[in-house]
Structure 1
Amino acid sequence: MPEIVETTIYGLEELSEAAKDRARAWYREDGFDHDWYDAVFADFERICDLVGVELATQRVHLFGGGTRARSCIWFSGFASQGDGACFEGVYRYAKAALKNIRGYAPKDAELHRIAAALQAVQRRNFYQLSSVVAHRGRYHHEYSMAIAVERDDPMLREMTADAEEEVGEALRDLARWLYRQLEREFDYLISDEAVDEAILANGYGFTEAGERFG
């Protein structure tokens, strides 16, 4: 025969410290399932545009039907050897890239260095270098990117001896930069402060022991 069981539901702020920790652990494991990296990806897409990288795209299916274009950016993280980020696309010289990056991210010395390195190697090759970046293998880190560099010179001059290495390393540094931003964002989002804010904003309820109710 059915029976009615009454359970008192608590908000996060009403729990003991031990129960709060249990509630936070639930959120990190089961409640943290959204595309938390979207803002980082959007920032990276803008940076790529400024330095001259046209990211490749692929069609992804939406839950409600239809598709949308998604930039070819991948990552894995954040505690295993081999974790990292990578992307696919085409790099070409972008006029005023260094100036534009400094304007967009005035305090980011690493982005300034990457843009300056690309500008320097382009200058030595009369701004004629281009590069195709493709993902290879099942891992996602900077060395899973195959980077082919060419010089489009109507006089058929060869690119300088350092060009392939310089462009490749700068693009891999860009992937490393992306990974650090993703790691920083993830660390913030799973911090007690951010988890508490998310739990309270969603109005989640818990038992006295900190177990999710409902």
Structure 2
Amino acid sequence: MVYDDFERICDILGVSLKRRSVRLMGGGTRQKPCIWFSGFSSQGDGASFEATVGHANGSAREIRAYAPQDQILHGIADRLQAAQRQNFYQLSADVTHRGRYYHEYCMSIDVSRDSPTGQPPTAGSEETVVETLRDLARWLYRQLEAEYDHLTSDEAVEEGIVINEYTFTEGGRRFG
């Protein structure tokens, strides 16, 4: 599933997804990651998430091992690593959702530096982190869209009909 893959990628990159309680049918609750999307053919569609971000040691190497063919994820890991290196691995970010839409520009991203001497982030590093996290949201949206396209393809629908042994009347209604 796309969400599970995204959660693993976030773990590798040092992006700790925030969680929210979701009520279950039996009355209990469980925790779900704060990931949202709308799609796939309207203006304003996209994906967003809420998280806290910090340095993840070895993330560039680990993302290449996890997703060896995904150049976009490699670039995301490299840019986050470079921004951290310029700031002695002291950058952190808080990502929250704002507004009623779900795309990368609905994420409010507050970047700070946890410097013992109170130094601010180096020039350009805040913008790098913000744009890189927005690129991660764009990456998620593309994965969700590809999964949707696959699940609604003629081949996938036909496979579901065959596997479930559905039959239909001449008029297209499900039979039996």
Relative to the length of structure 1, the TM-score reads 0.80
Match of 2:111, SS state, is: strand
Size of the aligned set, in residue pairs, is: 176
Which residue of structure 2 lines up, in the alignment, with residue 194 of structure 1?
156
Q: Which runs of 5+ in 2 are unaligned?
A: none
In the alignment, the residues of structure 1 paired with residue 175 and residue 107 of structure 2 have an alpha-carbon distance, to the nearest angstrom, of: 45
Could you say which residue in structure 2 is the equivalent of 1:133? 95
Q: TM-score, normalised by structure 2?
A: 0.97
Of 33, 38, 54, 1:71 maps to 33
Pairing 1:33-182 to 2, within 5 Å after superposition: 39-182=1-144
Matched position secondary structure for 1:180: helix
Alignment correspondent of 1:213? 175
Counterparts of 1:205 and 1:58, CA distance in 2? 41
| 1:149-169, Cα deviation, whole Å (9 max, x unpaired) | 000000211211211100000
Q: Which protein has the larger Cα radius of gyration, Structure 1 or Structure 2?
A: 1
For 2:50 and 2:5, the matched residues in 1 are separated by: 16
Higher RCO structure, 1 or 2 (CA under 8 Å, sep 6+): 1
Counterpart CA distance in 2 for 1:115 and 1:131 is 15
User: 158-167 or 140-149: which moved more?
Assistant: 158-167
For each residue in 1:111-152, what CA deviation from the matched residue of structure 2 results, as whole angstroms up to 9, or x when unmatched? 000000000011000000000000000000000000000000
| Structure 1 runs not aligned, ≥5 long | 1-38
Identity of aligned residues (%): 61
